[in-house]
Each structure stands twice: as C-alpha cells, then as structure tokens.
Amino acid sequence: MIWSIDLLILLLVVFCAVAAITVKDLLSATVIFGVYSFLMCLLWAEMGAVDVAFTEATVGAGISTVLFIAAILHTSRRSKD
Amino acid sequence: MKALAFVATLVIGAILLYGTMDFPAFGDPQSPASTHLSSYYIEQAIDETHVPNLVTAILGDYRGYDTMFETVVIYCAGLAVVCVLRRSKP
Amino acid sequence: MRLLQERTANQKSSDSPIIQTSVRIMVPFIQLFGLYVIVHGHYSPGGGFQGGVILGASFVLLALAFDLKTSIRYMSESVNNILGNAGVLIFTGVAVLCSLFGGLFLDYSALDVIIPMGPIEWRSFGIFLVEVGVGLAVMSILVSLFWDLGSAGGMDEGL
C-alpha cells in the first residue's frame, strides 16, 4: 500500500468515470469504461485482493466491454442527452 | 440546474469523505471486521479443507450457499436473455 | 457505426489475414489458460468463475475475428446448452448428494461414503467439483449471451 500510487490511480479512476458519463459517443464511453475497469483492477491488485482483481480484469474489462459493443451495434451510437 | 447538481455532488462527496474518517486503518488487525471470524478462517482453513488458497476455501466450502445461488442467478440471467432474444428459424 | 453495420450485413468473412491467423494461434492457449485457472484455483488466484469467463472469451474472440458461423462451428449451440445445464446440475447435484449421504447440504465430507479417502480430502475435492461446475455454467452462459446479443437472436450473422 503505497499512498502515491493509490492517489494516482484514484485520480485516474475519477477522471475516467467523469469522462465516461460526459462523452457523447457511446462507443467511446464503452472504451473509457474498459479503462476504468482496468484501473480498478490495478487498484485491487495493489491493495492485495488478487482474486477480485482477476475477476475485474476478466469480467469488467473483457466481457462486459464486448457485450456493450454488441448491444450498441443494434441501437444508435449517439447518445441523446 | 447544472450548477445545482454540481453543488449537490460536492456536498454529498464531502459528507462521504467525512464519514470515511471513522474507518479503521488499512489492514488493522483490531478492526471489527478482522476480529470476529477472520482469525478462525486463517487458523483453521488449511487444517479443515486442505486448500491453501483461503479465498477458494471460503467461497467453495464455508460460504457454499453464496456461490451456489450466485451460479443460479447467472444461469437465470442467461436463460432470460435466450428466452427473450432467441428467434428459432421457421 | 453505419459503416460497421453495413460491413457486418454484407460480409461473409472478415478480411484481415493477420488477425485471423493470430487469433487461430492464440485461441488454444487461451483455452488452456482457462482450464489451468479453473483446475489450479486451489493453489493460486482464480477459480471457476474467472476460468469460465476466460474460456468463454476464447469463443467470443473467434466470433470477433472470423464471424458468428465459425464460432458456432467450433462450439455448437446444442453442446453449449448441454454444458451450461450440466454445470449448474453438477453444483446442485453435489450439494444434494451430500445431503443424501447423511451430511448437511453442501457438506462435502459426507461424500466419504462413496470413495473413502478421508473427509478432509473430500472437502478439498468437493470444492474442485463445484468449481468445475461453475466454470462450465459461466462459460456457456457468456457465449450464449454474446451470440444472442451480437446477432439479435438470429444466430446467422452479426458481430
């Protein structure tokens, strides 16, 4: 637990979270969400919870991104708001 | 409206940060979460199950109901998606 | 996105030989790693859920690099359904067997009646059986989720 690495990752997590809900393009939002998942995975691995980090890397960054893209393919890419 | 939402977010964030000041320190052995059952698992899990990975021992054996219904929930979700979306060819 | 939709609509197989060749080489190793994560969950991070997701991701990768037909040819839909049902059945079946042989529900040491190798070893082996069940169920459900979402249920073309 090194506080400077923690602070850096947490700042990047907050930045990715704000970017994912403000961007208009849903495909970009999906990719930013994948980046968010990887940063959370890094944070958990750094805190010593390796099993949770593994699950986050496989499910959050791997599968859910692909499922989001498959769902966006059948709707519209632009968000309305 | 946007300024109001921003102020509300800041206020709630400040309250949450104030709430975290009462948390025990990271990895504190005297915190309530690690004095109740954790010591029993850490001392007895290898003797009782012969599984070196504590997480697997707890998920698969001590908390088997949790894992079982987690699997059933995933199964029901997949079943629902197949029932809603799958179109069989005529 | 319109371009992507048109491309997937009138496309028989995708066109980049680099991606196809590298995916064809990578997929067996990804599946081997998934099996390793399931089986080695007792000694290292991992377990049924993560290994099942990795196994499912290999078939999703096949569907992304080639097309949906190739993925279905590697892992047919009926086999996928059978594996998913068998996974959940293994988990609940082991639990019910424990209670049938005189123990509590999900108390694996009661299975010592079948093969006598000690109740503690049976608890370890019972965890292994359960992890295999979870892995099979998660793999099949993820693959069928991707097939249904990617092709809107038609199973003929799509992502």
Task: Give me C92's structure tokens.
Answer: 């609940």
Question: Which residues does chain C have within 8 Å of residue A74's beta carbon, measured at their own beta carbons?
Answer: 149, 152
Specify the pLDDT at position C127: 92
CB proximity C34 to A under 8 Å: no
Domain ranges in chain A?
Answer: 3-73
pLDDT tens readout for residues C78-87? 999 999 999 9
> Looking at the predicted structure, is the pLDDT value of residue A75 above 90?
no
Per-residue tokens: B36: 């109740």
Residue numbers in C near B56 (CB within 8 A): 41-42, 47, 127, 131
Task: Compute the average pLDDT of residues B43-66.
Answer: 89
C55 touching chain A per CB within 8 A: no
Distance CA C20, CA C29 (A): 15
pLDDT per residue over C5-20, tens digit each?
A: 565 555 544 578 899 9
Among candidate residues B25, B62, B59, the one with its CA nearest the CA of residue B40: B62
Partners of C113 in the beta sheet? Answer: none
pLDDT tens sequence for chain C (159 residues)? 555 656 555 554 457 889 999 999 999 999 999 999 999 988 988 888 999 999 999 999 998 888 888 888 888 889 999 999 999 999 999 999 999 988 888 888 888 888 888 888 888 999 999 999 999 999 999 999 988 888 877 777 666
Could you state, in order of their start, the residue ranges of all structural domains in chain B?
Answer: 51-90
Which residue in this structure is represented by tokens 């070196």?
A: B52
Our measurement of the distance from residue C128's CA atom to the centroid of its chain's CA atoms, rounded to an integer in Å, reads 15
For chain A, the average pLDDT equals 90
**Amino acid letter, C155:** M
3 state DSSP class of C94: helix
Mean pLDDT value of segment B68-78:
93
- Domain locations in chain C? 2-151
Give the bridge partners for A25, in sequence order: A78
Q: Is the pTM of this model over 0.95?
A: no
DSSP assignment, residue A62? I
Whole-angstrom CA distances from A40 to B84, C20, C140 are: 32, 31, 26
Out of A1, A47, A51, name the one closest to residue B55 (CB). Answer: A51
Radius of gyration of chain B (CA): 22
